[in-house]
Structure 1
Amino acid sequence: MRDFFKYLFASMLGFFLSMVLIGVICFFIIVGLIASVDTDKNVVVNNNSVLFLNLDQAITERTPKNPFGNLPIVGGEEKDGIGLNDLLKSLQKAKTDDNIKCIYLNVSSPNAGFATMREIRNALIDFKKSHKKIIAYSEVYTQGAYYLASVADEIYLNPEGALEFKGFSSELTFFKGTLEKLGIEAQVIRVGNYKSAVEPFILDKMSDYNRKQVTAYVGGLYNTFLTDIAQSRDILKDSLYTIADNYKIREPQDALNYKMVDGLKYKDEILDKLRKLSGRKKDEVIRAVSINDYLKNNTDSGSSKNKVAVIYANGDITGGEGSDNQIGSERISRAIRKARLDDDIKAIVLRVNSPGGSALASDVIWREIVLSKKVKPVMASFGDVAASGGYYIACAADSIFVQPNTITGSIGVFGIIPNFQNLMTNKLGITFDGVKTGKYADIMATNRPMTEGEKFIIQNELNRIYSGFVSRVAEGRKKSKAYIDSVGGGHVWIGTDAVQIGLADRIGSFNDAIKAAAKKANLKDYKIVEYPDVIDPLKSLLQESTDRVKTYYTKQELGENYYLYQQMKKVVASSGIQARMPFEAVIK
């Protein structure tokens, strides 16, 4: 009888907990539905409004359509952010919106790459043609934040704040020592001396080849950074270099003395200035609208039957469906095919922001671009990075547009086959035994070192894939294979250099690529359609919620080491032959 009541109690408790869990899920679904309905509503912009531009949030390629995106998760305030596409449209709209009197730019530590930030800077420069002012204010400016803020008509810093201006440094993390301590051997096969994505697992410092290319592209990024700031602030570029090189901005007054900012003010003083600019009296409340709300009015995509399709390829490249932040070969190739077969779509723009990934998946997407190019114009626009597989999928486009600080190239392939024998046998006492019907039946096994025969086979396969990669680039860029091989070999280039050596066609923005596609299709009136469709947020509710909570707590536990965790996780998840740019360097 005692066991009966024990099991009965356990069953009742399980039922109760299940009902609580179902109730929580239902609650979030209802809240999400309400949030999604609210998201679709236009926002009323009052007369004499200030557009509040918060650029500390995550800036992605497209605004996430997750109704739970702005809800705080347990213990944190993680939010989905804003899409560059909507941000650019909103700034263009605000330029001619009589209700918007000025922009209040607030940024301390932007969550975006340098090419993305340059797109935003250029959009703000265009906004200033309306003769409406941009006021920037922050308590702290990181270098990226100052890069964005430097475009403002007036830049203000808190009297006790800080402005970081010290030059760029690049840091790579190496795991060779860690793997040796664990008894793991990273067996590497690659094509290209510059294909340094594998170096963190076989070296304890940069190779000479990698040091050369990292020095070149970090220097290129820094050159664009200084050039743009010099133009906006009317300060000599050499002077900016000297200021950073000698770390002359050590306190707020230094920033003012060197004309990096226009004043040292507190927030209430900035609010008074915004009242004046927006036509409000000193005792009146400022009428402000955030960029996140303002973008809800971006509903007019044109009425023309003629369309230009923008296809977003964002994230690592993998086989299968992928996600909004991962390029799945099935999903993206299907979107390209859909755009190709739609007679109303007259041109295609492939927007790429990817460090690469699976060589096979890249080839699947490349094939769809080749087929599309035969029937309608195809332009490619590169974001922060379009390297290795990210370059592969776009190399057949009619024209490639890059920013000066886009990172691209990295034409090469590699494979990593870990050998866990020492870890398993000598450290954990685990051994393996079995039978096989052929000499190579267990090729790529991870519980033993590769044989010379296996290395030969895999190396030949990589050589074949690399040769195909080079051939596709040569065909798309109308160059010889020998020339593409000379600028390939895994070498990473910045946008300005890519244009000079013929891997890209011109320096231009995302919108420049769209306009070029329309022009080549002889379109004067057209509307833009975006592919692939954003994944239904409710369909992926449980996975999204779990991932968000897991990510939050992982960040909390690991802190600054979260970056290392991401890199290790990415390597473990990589399978097959990879066309990926060298291991990401952290620019500080």
Structure 2
Amino acid sequence: MKQFFKYVLATIVGIILSSLVMFFLFIGIMSAIVAATDSKEVKVKENSILYVDLKQQVVDRAADNPFQNFDFSTLEPNSPMGLNQILKALNNAKNDPKIKGILLEIDAINAGAATTEEIRNALLDFKSSGKFIYAYSDTYSQKSFYLASVADSIFLNPEGMVEWLGLRSEIMFFKKTLEKLGVEPQILRHGKFKSAVEPFMLNKMSPENREQTLTYLSSIWNQWVSAISETRGISVKELNRLADDLEIFNGKSAKKYHLVDSLIYKDELLSFLKNKLGVEEKDDINSIALNKYFKAPEVNKRKFTRDKIAVIYATGEIEMGNGGPDNIGSESLSRTIRKARRDSAIKAIVFRINSPGGSALASEVIWREVDLAAKTKPVIVSMGDVAASGGYYIAAPATAIVANPTTITGSIGVFGLFFNLQKALDKKLGINVDVVKTNEHADFFTMFRPMTAEERAVGQMFIEETYQTFIGHVSSGRGIPVEQVDAIGQGRVWSGVNAKDIKLIDEFGGLTDAIKLAAEKAGLENYRLVEMPKQKKFVEQLLENMSAEAKLWILKDELGTSFKAYNRIKNMLTNQGVQARIPYDIEIY
């Protein structure tokens, strides 16, 4: 028997030691790969083309982690690209004598409308150098066609197609689902347009929500159509007619109505490019992918200076505590802003916001630090795809606000969402929850009974007071009377175009424009950029997020396209309480 236990113990110890060795070996290999890729500077060959496909997700600032979004099923990396990297690379390519032009090969773009707008503007700036841009694809989505419309020529596979229908936004409603589950949503809100809770209380859009959605969708569509009209030489009226009459259904119709210039195959495209570059037909074209070009040497490097402009990134939903790469934590972001405010070498701050909002209290905590910073040095807000509700709350005290015409913003309003699970537990599961309490309302925020009329009145009063604080901050920061803020508030969502008309933003532009404005406000001609908060090193991120990323990957794999719906429900259940959040996850098709 002693021998048996001896062998069992030895086996267990062996398994533990082997596991530890394999774990540290894995970490070592991963670290070596990262070190090798990070230190390697890319060399660009003479007479090269910059190849842009944008298949990877585009975020404001990509995490310094080559294994973020690593696909363990195929063992291939699928890391997002940072908009900051893309803009810097396109500007560098503009001045790089080795880069002769750009080939866009884009069928779909994994980026929001405002992000696409910023990339398009950067491509237009690239064209000012006199270098060429050509676009080719087997199919073009509306967003990818909008981007491709900057090209000197647009090529399409002879059997391909261009999607040209107009924009739509689809909203999922859960009222009947909750009724079947026996879950009662208890809703408090201010503002007829504060429709974040509508999916839980209605089966279709309210007239107010439909009105605001159509307003900002029409604004974005008009921006796209006007820009395409300018670069393609097709009237706005004609572009709308083509969409309304379903005229664009294949490659031939796209060419007939001048949406594309030529219908060619890939080999014909390569021959065309070789001729353009003066390359023999038997030789290969020198090209470099955009994500590789990120590591190319900088052509016009700034002179070193002590003066700095800090670019602070705030991405995701706003929550209390310390955030992560995909959400905004009140404590961590406040700490970052405070650090930038106290640093005498930082002469201005560019505050890049891409957020649908979230916790009202967390927004207030961040607002305070932005307000203090703006009283010390210029703070320029750069809005991304969305900076609404809590995202606008934290932008309000800035020196100036810059947004794209297609940015989604506004949604100045507050709501409270509390779920009552009493019926679900009783009728569906046969569970009853009893309570002992010292005072009448000790279980005010419980999920196991409905609110009383008195509690609902107190909750609504708190919502009203929070809303008054919100519009007061906007009034003070923007120099607009409170009554006017209330009139354009009420939770209503606006596009960047609408927002400029009602003075919620100051001017149109992207991240690059915001940086230029910050330099101007600070009186700087020479400066260097510092990005904040400082990113964690790869090994730290790997150890910290390994378990969570694995779970998320399993869920995504199991749920497939249903993962988005799951995530929306999970976020709403997590974000109970008082919220300053945009109505829903806006997706424009």
When the two structures are superposed, what TM-score results if normalisation uses the length of structure 2?
0.96
Contact 2:112 2:385 in 1 (8 A): yes
Contact 1:32 1:67 in 2 (8 A): no
Give the match for residue 204 of structure 2.
Answer: 205
Give the match for residue 506 of structure 2.
Answer: 505
Contact 1:150 1:229 in 2 (8 A): yes
Alpha-carbon distance between aligned partners in 1 of 2:286 and 2:169, rounded to the nearest angstrom: 42
Give the match for residue 123 of structure 1.
Answer: 122
Deviation at 1:273, TM superposition (A): 2.1
Flag the 1:237–1:34 CA change in 2: closer, same or farther, 3 A: same
Give the match for residue 186 of structure 1.
Answer: 185
1:265-414 equivalence runs, <5 A: 265-297=264-296, 300=301, 302-414=303-415
Alpha-carbon distance between aligned partners in 1 of 2:84 and 2:563, rounded to the nearest angstrom: 28
Q: Which amino acid aligns with 1:159?
A: P
- Where structure 2 has 5 or more consecutive residues not aligned to the other structure, the ranges are none
1:565-584 equivalence runs, <5 A: 565-584=566-585
2:158 paired with 1:159: yes
Deviation at 1:301, TM superposition (A): 5.7
Deviation at 1:231, TM superposition (A): 1.2
Deviation at 1:232, TM superposition (A): 1.5
Give the match for residue 564 of structure 1.
Answer: 565
Contact 1:322 1:328 in 2 (8 A): yes
Identity level (%): 44
Between 15-24 and 429-438, report the one with greater CA deviation: 15-24
Q: Which amino acid aligns with 1:560?
A: T
Alpha-carbon distance between aligned partners in 2 of 1:81 and 1:271, rounded to the nearest angstrom: 28
Contact 2:66 2:79 in 1 (8 A): no
Alpha-carbon distance between aligned partners in 1 of 2:310 and 2:317, rounded to the nearest angstrom: 22
Q: Which amino acid aligns with 1:373?
A: A
Deviations 1:236-287 (A, max 9, x none): 1111111111111111111111111111111111122222333321111211
Between 505-514 and 236-245, report the one with greater CA deviation: 505-514
Contact 1:101 1:277 in 2 (8 A): no
Give the match for residue 237 of structure 2.
Answer: 238
2:88 paired with 1:89: yes
Flag the 1:121–1:23 CA change in 2: closer, same or farther, 3 A: same
Between 265-274 and 298-307, report the one with greater CA deviation: 298-307
Flag the 1:71–1:469 CA change in 2: closer, same or farther, 3 A: closer
Between 62-71 and 389-398, report the one with greater CA deviation: 62-71
Alpha-carbon distance between aligned partners in 1 of 2:167 and 2:543, rounded to the nearest angstrom: 40
1:358-507 equivalence runs, <5 A: 358-507=359-508
Flag the 1:10–1:427 CA change in 2: closer, same or farther, 3 A: farther
Alpha-carbon distance between aligned partners in 2 of 1:236 and 1:368, rounded to the nearest angstrom: 47
Q: Which amino acid aligns with 1:214?
A: T
Deviation at 1:105, TM superposition (A): 0.8
Deviation at 1:224, TM superposition (A): 0.9
Partner secondary structure for residue 540 of structure 1: helix
Alpha-carbon distance between aligned partners in 2 of 1:74 and 1:290, rounded to the nearest angstrom: 24
Give the match for residue 47 of structure 1.
Answer: 46
Contact 2:66 2:77 in 1 (8 A): no
Cα RMSD of the aligned pairs, angstroms, is 1.9
2:99 paired with 1:107: no
Deviation at 1:39, TM superposition (A): 2.1
Alpha-carbon distance between aligned partners in 1 of 2:163 and 2:248, rounded to the nearest angstrom: 7
Figure out how many residues of one structure are paired with residues of the other and give that number.
587
Alpha-carbon distance between aligned partners in 1 of 2:569 and 2:437, rounded to the nearest angstrom: 32
Give the match for residue 586 of structure 2.
Answer: 585
Alpha-carbon distance between aligned partners in 1 of 2:384 and 2:479, rounded to the nearest angstrom: 23
Contact 1:377 1:521 in 2 (8 A): yes
Deviation at 1:549, TM superposition (A): 3.8
Partner secondary structure for residue 188 of structure 1: strand
Alpha-carbon distance between aligned partners in 2 of 1:278 and 1:17, rounded to the nearest angstrom: 60
When the two structures are superposed, what TM-score results if normalisation uses the length of structure 1?
0.96
Deviation at 1:427, TM superposition (A): 1.3
Alpha-carbon distance between aligned partners in 2 of 1:264 and 1:110, rounded to the nearest angstrom: 21
Q: Which amino acid aligns with 2:64?
A: K
Deviation at 1:57, TM superposition (A): 1.2
Deviations 1:45-90 (A, max 9, x none): 0101111112121111013210324854234645112100110011
Between 269-278 and 202-211, report the one with greater CA deviation: 269-278
Deviations 1:298-344 (A, max 9, x none): 66464121111111111111111111221111111111111111111
Contact 2:65 2:541 in 1 (8 A): no
Give the match for residue 98 of structure 1.
Answer: 97
